[in-house]
């Protein structure tokens, strides 16, 4: 944060007053905006009892909970499979055999360049899979490929002396990987892995588009019910905080792990950048971490 | 091969739709992203808070949920726009959060001395940021912005499911016409590759001409 304060001087009394004025003005604008939205909500009758009482019904609550359960189930499967798939692909990319390396590179680059939704639709429409299978398979292919890159860069980022020392002790490549490089890399990679899992959790909502009965689907069912006066806005107001909350919790976990790692002397040998969505920029390098 | 040649106009419309969505949403995302990044480093506390909330909420919102809320929700307020505009709005706002983070980390890569020198010349915050720091930051954020915009192009596929003409949506009429579904998807994939590879080519060029030599 020292760099951001370099953008302006430590404010004196007059500047502080001016800033307070700007602050007041912007708060006023925000409050006005919120008030306008609330007014719109009231004037279009979004807070009428007819639209909100359905949420006290047991059936509706169960519908929402089943949807949430299905979302979490898809996420669980997708997380486990993409970690496994990513590990396999990363092993392939680090292989000593050229053919295996080429094939895994091709797979990784292709699936990172394709929209997840295209893969999900392909599996759903062309291969006629069940919605859950299609969703999990699509998420696995995409997130597995991204995770493979994370794993690979993690292993590569362990100080070269570590691997060399292990080889000098007469360890075989598998031993060097298993006992020396991977344990150190995993610690450093953990935040990046969790951030990628947040992406997977967010993308489970794509299941809605292939009629997988997840959280959003349950919401849509309730929202399009004429008996309850089409409670669309109430549904959004209930679903979004839960969805966003879950993702935030996971993001926060990633940040927490990252902060802990920074104080941990065991991870000094490796530094892993967060994963990026489908980098096709071959000649481009990320700016060095500061 | 027949699938493509028989339905060239259908595929063409789809590709154009995807490009249109990508270009307009990118412009919106870039503008909003830079504004939010400026907010996040501003000396005024409430603006910083606005920037932080914007980024935190949007980065953790599933894009499908955002589409759901914007495309189906805003009309309830009497705001009826073409679906395409809604899609651009949703995509642009969503991506702006990622652009903002890229720009902010770019601002942090500009040496402290630059900001300090600007200040010692008596420049104000907008001058320091706009004339000194952002132009230099921009050069180092070209690659991350490039990959963010590639992600945007890929995310635009979601718009197809909300009745906007774009590339993925092409599969539906072709499926009904009874064309080979595998080849239909192969050409859709090629279309997306064309879009994403063009973006990466543009950004490679930008990086070569404007990027920071390291």
Domain count of chain B?
1
Q: Which of residues 1-40 of B touch A (CB under 8 A)?
A: none
Q: Which of residues 116-145 of B touch A (CB under 8 A)?
A: 116, 119, 124-125, 128-129, 133, 140-144
Q: CB neighbours (10 Å) of residue A45?
A: 12
What is the reported pLDDT for A5? Answer: 61
Nearest residue on chain A to B69, alpha-carbon basis: A236
Burial A122-148 (b: 16+ CB within 10 A, else e): bbbbbeebebbebbbbbbbbbbbbbbb
Nearest residue on chain B to A17, alpha-carbon basis: B44
For chain A, 290 residues long, the average pLDDT of each consecutive 10-residue run is 62 87 92 91 83 85 92 95 95 92 93 91 90 95 94 89 93 91 88 92 92 90 82 88 93 89 68 54 40
| Structural domain range at position B131 | 2-210
Q: Verify whether the Cβ–Cβ distance A202 to B43 is below 8 Å.
A: no
What is the reported pLDDT for A54? Answer: 81
Going by C-beta distance under 8 Å and a sequence separation of 6 or more, which residues neighbour residue B169? B14, B17, B160, B161, B163
Nearest residue on chain A to B123, alpha-carbon basis: A8
What is the reported pLDDT for A284? Answer: 40
Where residue B146 sits, what CATH number does that domain have? 1.10.3720.10
Q: How many CB pairs under 8 A join A and B?
A: 192
Q: A239 and chain B: CB distance < 8 Å anywhere? A: yes
Q: How far is CA A75 from CA B3, B47, B209, in A?
A: 35, 35, 42
What is the reported pLDDT for A278? Answer: 47
What is the reported pLDDT for B76? Answer: 80
Q: Where are the domains of chain A?
A: 56-267
- Residues A187/A264, Cβ–Cβ less than 8 Å: yes
Contacts of B142 in chain A (CB under 8 A): 284
**ipTM score of complex:** 0.86
Q: Verify whether the Cβ–Cβ distance B62 to A243 is below 8 Å.
A: yes
What is the reported pLDDT for A267? Answer: 60
Q: Verify whether the Cβ–Cβ distance B144 to A118 is below 8 Å.
A: no
In CATH, the number for domain A56-267 is 1.10.3720.10
What is the reported pLDDT for A1? Answer: 41
Nearest to A111 by CA among A96, A93, A132: A93
Q: Verify whether the Cβ–Cβ distance B73 to A126 is below 8 Å.
A: no
What is the reported pLDDT for A187? Answer: 84
Nearest to B54 by CA among B9, B96, B7: B96
Q: Verify whether the Cβ–Cβ distance B143 to A286 is below 8 Å.
A: yes
- Quote the minimal CA–CA distance from A179 to chain B in Å: 34
Q: How far is CA B34 from CA A226, B27, B28, B66, in A?
A: 43, 11, 10, 21
pLDDT tens-digit readout, B92-130: 999 999 999 999 989 888 888 898 899 889 888 889 999
pLDDT tens-digit readout, B48-93: 999 999 999 999 999 999 998 998 888 887 788 888 999 999 999 9
Q: B198 and chain A: CB distance < 8 Å anywhere? A: no
- pLDDT for B22 beyond 80: yes
Minimal Cβ distance to A233: which of B76, B107, B188: B76
pLDDT tens-digit readout, B28-50: 999 999 999 999 988 888 899 99
Mean pLDDT (chain B) is: 89
């Amino acid at each position: 944060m020292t760099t951001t304060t370099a953008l302006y001087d430590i404010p004196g009394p007059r500047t502080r007053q001016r800033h307070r004025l700007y602050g007041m003005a912007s708060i006023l604008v925000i409050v006005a905006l919120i008030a306008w939205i609330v007014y719109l909500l009231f004037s279009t009758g979004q807070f009428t009892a007819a639209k909100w009482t359905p949420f006290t019904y047991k059936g509706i609550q169960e519908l929402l909970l089943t949807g949430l359960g299905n979302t979490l189930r898809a996420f669980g499967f997708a997380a486990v499979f993409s970690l496994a798939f990513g590990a396999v692909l990363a092993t392939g990319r680090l292989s000593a055999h050229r053919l295996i390396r080429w094939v895994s590179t091709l797979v990784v680059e292709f699936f990172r360049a394709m929209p997840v939704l295209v893969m999900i639709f392909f599996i759903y429409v062309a291969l006629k899979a069940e919605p859950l299978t299609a969703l999990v398979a699509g998420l696995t292919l995409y997130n597995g490929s991204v995770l493979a890159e994370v794993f690979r860069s993690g292993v590569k980022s362990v100080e070269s002396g570590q691997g060399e020392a292990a080889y000098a002790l007469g360890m075989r490549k598998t031993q060097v990987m298993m006992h020396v490089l991977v344990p150190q890399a995993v610690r450093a990679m953990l935040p990046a892995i969790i951030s990628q899992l947040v992406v997977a959790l967010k993308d489970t909502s794509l299941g809605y588009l292939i009629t997988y009965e997840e959280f959003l689907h349950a919401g849509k069912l309730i929202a399009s019910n004429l008996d309850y006066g089409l409670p669309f806005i109430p549904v959004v107001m209930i679903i979004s905080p839960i969805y966003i909350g879950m993702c935030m919790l996971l993001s926060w976990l990633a940040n927490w792990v990252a902060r802990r790692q920074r104080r941990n002397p065991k991870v000094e040998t490796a530094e892993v950048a967060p994963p990026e969505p489908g980098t096709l920029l071959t000649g481009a390098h990320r700016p060095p971490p500061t | 091969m027949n699938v493509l040649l028989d339905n060239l106009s259908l595929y063409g419309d789809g590709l154009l739709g995807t490009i249109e969505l990508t270009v307009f949403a990118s412009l919106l995302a870039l503008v909003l992203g830079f504004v939010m990044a400026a907010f996040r480093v501003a000396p005024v506390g409430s603006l910083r808070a606005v920037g932080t909330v914007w980024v935190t909420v949007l980065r953790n919102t599933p894009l499908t949920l955002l589409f759901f809320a914007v495309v189906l929700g805003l009309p309830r307020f009497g705001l009826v726009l073409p679906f395409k505009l809604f899609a651009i709005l949703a995509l642009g706002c969503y991506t702006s959060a990622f652009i903002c983070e890229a720009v902010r980390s770019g601002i942090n890569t500009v040496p402290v001395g630059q900001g300090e020198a600007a200040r010692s010349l008596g420049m104000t915050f907008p001058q320091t940021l706009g004339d000194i720091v952002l132009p230099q930051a921009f050069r180092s954020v070209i690659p991350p912005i490039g990959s963010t915009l590639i992600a945007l192009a890929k995310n635009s596929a979601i718009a197809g499911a909300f009745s906007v003409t774009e590339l993925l949506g092409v599969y539906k009429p072709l499926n009904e016409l009874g064309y080979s579904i595998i080849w239909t998807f192969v050409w859709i994939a090629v279309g997306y590759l064309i879009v994403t590879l063009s973006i990466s080519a543009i950004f490679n060029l930008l990086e070569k001409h404007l990027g920071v030599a390291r």
